[in-house]
A = this chain, B = another copy of it.
Amino acid sequence: MNTGARYSLKHFILWTRHKIYWLAVMATIPVLLYEFANWHWIAIPWVTIAFIGTAAAFIAGFKNTQSYNRTWEARTIWGGIVNSSRAWGMMVKDFVRHDDTTEEKKLHRELVYRHIAWLTALRFQLRESRSWENVKTKKYNREYLAYYTVDEWVSQLDKSMEPLLSAGELAYIMSKKNRATQLIALQSKQLRTLNENGQLDTLRYVEMENLLKEMYDHQGRSERIKNYPYPRQFASINIFFILLLVILLPFGLLNEFAKLGQYGVWLTVPFTVIVGWVFTSLEQVGESTENPFEGSANDIPITSMSRTIEIDLREMLDEENIPAPIVASNNILM
């Protein structure tokens, strides 16, 4: 996520410059035909453009709305992960009891660290790439990757989980397909043992199982947004309609600008670029908000949020070496 007041206009223009060039070319062609080939009949009536504009505006607006909803829901889910994680820390500390304080502390640490391992596995899974994501396939997005680092792309999952799990558990988990899922199953397994050994009476045990169920809900909701894109049929017509609109735009503007006098028609080029830029930028911003876990500058900051949870939980355990929060790089917080 961007943590500044706004993107700088310079950055934004750079990010959209390819479309600006393309628009300039597309606008120049009809003007040349009009002026030099004298094809005045290509100056089509504005009402046609206006009608297509209405449909394109609807579908682009709709896409932006749904992209926003996807991002906001993703943030809400991860907010829920923060809340459930704090509750997990609290319940671990006060529900899991042992006559031996050292033993109790060890149990608490195990259950909390395995939870942090789950967060780690989950954020690695969510930052993997999908065939419909744009951050690595579109040139302007790849360029922008220079401004920030995606921890999940430069680190190794097993290395990242090593300080959090026993060697046996680490190996077991790495052998599984969906590691986050099996980590929760491991938590449940330990709770069963605690329940059988009497460190956790059944009522409190069931409460904690329900909290694990809540973690599955959070994970599954994140995966839903990750694995189910903005429906491609809507994304497709969005692209087709916007394209159609900006291609026809200069033809519609010719007549209007021709009225300005001899050279007026040439103003078609800058104004096609301006109007076209507005619509293609709207589309490009929507597209870059669609997938909140793809590693783009507009992602939900799950690396940073996981760290925040880790800090809260370690403070609950009254640990000493609390790691520092993650800070934004060039206003981009991941």
A259 to B227, CA, bound (A): 52
- Contact yes or no, B316 A182, CB < 8 A: yes
B7 near A209: Cβ-Cβ < 8 Å? no
Per assembly, the copies of the chain total 5
Nearest Cβ in chain B — how far from A254, in angstroms?
Answer: 11
Residues of B within 8 A of A282 (CB): 55, 58-59, 237
State which residues 71-86 of A face B: CB under 8 Å.
Answer: 71, 75-76, 79-80, 82-83, 86
Instruction: Give the interface size bracket for A toward B.
Output: 35 or more
How long is the Cα–Cα vector from A232 to B46 in the complex, in angstroms? 34
| Residues B3 and A41 in contact, CB atoms below 8 Å apart | no
Closest CB pairs A-B (n = 8): A45-B256, A83-B220, A79-B224, A2-B232, A94-B192, A6-B236, A7-B236, A87-B213
Where the two chains meet, the residues of A that have a C-beta atom closer than 8 Å to any C-beta of B are 1-7, 9, 12, 40-41, 43-48, 50-59, 61-62, 64-66, 68, 71, 75-76, 79-80, 82-83, 86-87, 89-91, 93-95, 97, 130-132, 134, 137, 176-178, 181-182, 184-185, 188-189, 191-192, 196, 201-204, 206-207, 209-210, 212-213, 216-217, 219-221, 223-224, 228-229, 231-237, 239-241, 244, 248, 252-253, 256-257, 259-261, 263-264, 267, 271, 274-275, 278-279, 281-282, 285, 288-289, 298, 311-312, 315-316, 322, 331
